[in-house]
C-alpha cells in the first residue's frame, strides 16, 4: 500500500489540535480528516496510523476485524512526532 504523505501530515496536525489528554478519538480524527483533506478511506487512514506508530511519531493503534479497521486510535504525538511536525507544519515548507 502506498503511504499518503499529505495524510501523514493531516493526522499529525489533527492529533496536535486535540485537547484530549488521552489522545484524539476516532470520531474526531475522522471528522478532522474529512474537513481538512477529504480523507475518508478507513484502510488508508488505518495504514497511515500504523506507519506513524512504526516511526515512533504517535502512540496510537488499530484494531482489525474481518480484514478491516474496526477501531482507529491515533493517540498522542510522541516527542519525535512533535519534532517531526514542527518541521513540516508550515504549508510553504510542506508544498515546496
Identify the structural domains of the chain with CATH numbers, from first to last: 5-95 (1.10.10.10)
C-alpha cell at 10: 493531516
Taking the whole predicted model, whether its pTM rises above 0.85 is answered as yes
Whole-angstrom distance, CA of residue 79 vs CA of residue 58: 9
pLDDT tens by residue, 31-89: 999 999 889 899 999 999 999 999 999 999 999 999 889 999 999 999 999 999 999 98
C-alpha cell at 75: 493517540
The pLDDT value recorded for residue 96 is 53
Amino acid at each position: 500500500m502506498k503511504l499518503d504523505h499529505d495524510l501523514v501530515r493531516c493526522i499529525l496536525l489533527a492529533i496536535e489540535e486535540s485537547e484530549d489528554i488521552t489522545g484524539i478519538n476516532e470520531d474526531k480524527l475522522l471528522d478532522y480528516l474529512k474537513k481538512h483533506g477529504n480523507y475518508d478511506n478507513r484502510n488508508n487512514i488505518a495504514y497511515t496510523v500504523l506507519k506513524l506508530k512504526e516511526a515512533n511519531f504517535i502512540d496510537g493503534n488499530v484494531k482489525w476485524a474481518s480484514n478491516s479497521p474496526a477501531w482507529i486510535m491515533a493517540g498522542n504525538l510522541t516527542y519525535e512526532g512533535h519534532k517531526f511536525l514542527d518541521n513540516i507544519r508550515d504549508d510553504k515548507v510542506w508544498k515546496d
